[in-house]
């Protein structure tokens, strides 16, 4: 009977396989220990990102969420400096901060925040770890928009007149309880705006309660067009014509008459405060017969505007008395000569 070779037996292969498994296991653990040792000796980097937006997960067809912190701070740490640098930039950031409200009902709730999409080589801590939110039934309603212009936003001496809002009504979406608190919708001038000329701009719509406190709403459209007619400081003054130029030799004087004797001037308060009489220069040179013409007043005055802008000037010359006597004598002589010739 032929003897079996041990190295070709099943027992040998089983023992050999077990030996290889032990070797691989020991090698893997040694590598892990080595890597952990390297990791502990490697430099760790960290950074804090401020104002990271909180993304709300909710059934937004049914609920409206309000009264919560929209931004939080996130502290990041990693041994991978490049990955950490990438998380600092908005365009390359991989993670987002989420508040999950999908299993919550109406009311004010404390909601834990968590990170989604963060790279495995980076650790993150959110501050605060929870936020308070108010969940309400979602409603939509169309309301009028009212302008709000504060007196301190009108430049000294100026005033405003016609105000137009376009569109005059907007559709707002909010919570059912918030809607009951709304006193009116308003559009306001930016805080540092001072009106010293006509104003037109697109501005956001706000909802306020009776205490003028802003409430959480979404409006469609988000902005409306506000147009304000602004009037400069103005006052009524006398319009006084003054002769300029040399009179013709046979003219004693020229009467100047205007179709208006008073005008309204508008401009900077510091300028118009100096004016009580508006003196209008009128050329009377070579005027030998009655003459009327229209004059544009704003050509004469550049520091302020004048209403009406035009005035009708009438010039009436008066001849010297000797010229009249001479004319009479000439007429008399001509008459005598005529009578002599007849005789």
Provide the residue range defining the domain that includes 246: 234-324
C-alpha span between 72 and 128 (Å, rounded): 7
Summarised one tens digit per residue, pLDDT across range 118-159 is 999 999 999 999 999 999 999 999 999 999 999 899 988 888
Q: Which of 120, 136, 152 is the last residue of a domain?
A: 136
Summarised one tens digit per residue, pLDDT across range 240-269 is 998 888 888 888 889 999 999 999 988 888
Q: Domain check: are 249 and 320 in the same one?
A: yes
Question: What pairing do the DSSP bridges indicate for beta strands 159-166 and 184-188?
Answer: unpaired
Is residue 2 predicted with pLDDT exceeding 50?
no
pTM of the predicted structure, to 2 decimals: 0.63
Q: Domain check: are 142 and 132 in the same one?
A: no
To the nearest 5 percent, what fractions of the chain are helix, strand and coil? 25, 45, 30
Assess if residue 243 is contained within a domain. yes
Q: Domain check: are 204 and 190 in the same one?
A: yes
- Domain count for the chain, please give it: 3
C-alpha span between 237 and 307 (Å, rounded): 11
Question: What pairing do the DSSP bridges indicate for beta strands 234-244 and 277-283?
Answer: parallel
Assess if residue 281 is contained within a domain. yes
For position 191, which CATH number holds?
2.170.120.40
Q: Domain check: are 103 and 182 in the same one?
A: no
For position 60, which CATH number holds?
2.170.120.30
C-alpha span between 74 and 123 (Å, rounded): 10
Q: Which of 231, 248, 265 is the last residue of a domain?
A: 231
Summarised one tens digit per residue, pLDDT across range 166-220 is 999 999 999 999 999 999 999 999 988 999 889 999 999 999 999 999 999 999 9
Assess if residue 339 is contained within a domain. no
Summarised one tens digit per residue, pLDDT across range 290-317 is 999 998 888 888 778 888 989 999 999 9
């Amino acid at each position: 009977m032929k003897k079996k070779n041990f190295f070709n037996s099943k027992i040998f292969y089983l023992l050999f396989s077990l030996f290889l498994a032990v070797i691989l296991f020991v090698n893997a653990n040694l590598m892990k220990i080595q890597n952990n040792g390297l990791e502990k000796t490697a430099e760790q980097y960290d950074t804090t990102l401020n104002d990271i937006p909180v993304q709300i997960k909710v059934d937004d067809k049914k609920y409206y969420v309000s009264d919560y912190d929209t931004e939080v701070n996130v502290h990041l740490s990693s041994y991978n400096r490049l990955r950490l640098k990438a998380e600092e930039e908005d365009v390359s950031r991989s993670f987002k901060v989420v508040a999950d409200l999908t299993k919550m009902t109406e009311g004010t709730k404390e909601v834990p925040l968590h990170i989604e999409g963060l790279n495995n080589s980076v650790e993150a801590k959110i501050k605060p770890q929870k936020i308070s939110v108010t969940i309400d039934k979602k409603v939509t309603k169309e309301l009028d928009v009212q302008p709000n212009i504060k007196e301190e936003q009108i430049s000294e001496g100026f005033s405003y007149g016609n105000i137009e809002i376009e569109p005059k009504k907007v559709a707002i979406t909010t919570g059912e309880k918030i809607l009951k608190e709304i006193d009116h919708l308003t559009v306001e001038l930016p805080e540092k705006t001072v009106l010293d000329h006509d104003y037109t701009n697109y501005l956001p719509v706000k909802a306020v309660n009776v205490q003028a406190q802003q409430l959480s709403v979404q409006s469609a459209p988000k902005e409306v067009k506000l147009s304000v007619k602004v009037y400069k400081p103005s006052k009524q003054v006398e319009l006084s014509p003054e002769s300029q130029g040399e009179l013709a030799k046979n003219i004693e004087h020229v009467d100047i008459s205007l179709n208006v004797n008073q005008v309204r001037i508008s401009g900077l308060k510091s300028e118009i405060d100096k004016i009580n009489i508006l003196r209008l220069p009128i050329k009377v040179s070579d005027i030998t017969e009655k003459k009327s013409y229209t004059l544009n007043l704003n050509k004469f005055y550049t520091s302020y505007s004048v209403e009406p802008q035009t005035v009708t000037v009438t010039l009436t010359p008066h001849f010297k008395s000797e010229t009249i006597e001479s004319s009479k004598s000439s007429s008399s002589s001509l008459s005598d000569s005529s009578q002599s010739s007849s005789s």
